[in-house]
Amino acid sequence: MMKLGMISPLAFSHMKRRGISIDALNHLIAHGQVEMQFDGAQVVYLDSVVPGPTWAGRPQPRLYAVMDAAGEVLTVEKRVRLRG
């Protein structure tokens, strides 16, 4: 289980603009799936659970963070993945 470390100013700005809380970022880093990159960076992502009635027919959000080799969060993003 990874722990939240430093957050870059860019990542913090993205979090504020996109409505992503520190608690959500902590949960993402603690429970997300990790993809290692060739340069030591990590992409940590968390797919949303199966959509409930409010998500019927809508795309699912996906939360992810990019961290450098030292563990600093470089950016945080919410993406929508269309199921086809």
Question: Which pTM does this prediction carry?
Answer: 0.71
Q: Are 18 and 78 in contact (CB under 8 A)?
A: yes
| Range of the structural domain that residue 43 is part of | 9-49+58-81
Whole-angstrom Cα distance, residue 18 to residue 9?
Answer: 14
Per residue in 34-75, pLDDT (tens digit) is 888 888 889 888 765 555 555 455 555 678 899 998 889 999
In a domain, 21, yes or no: yes
In the chain, the number of structural domains is 1
Inside any domain, residue 1: no
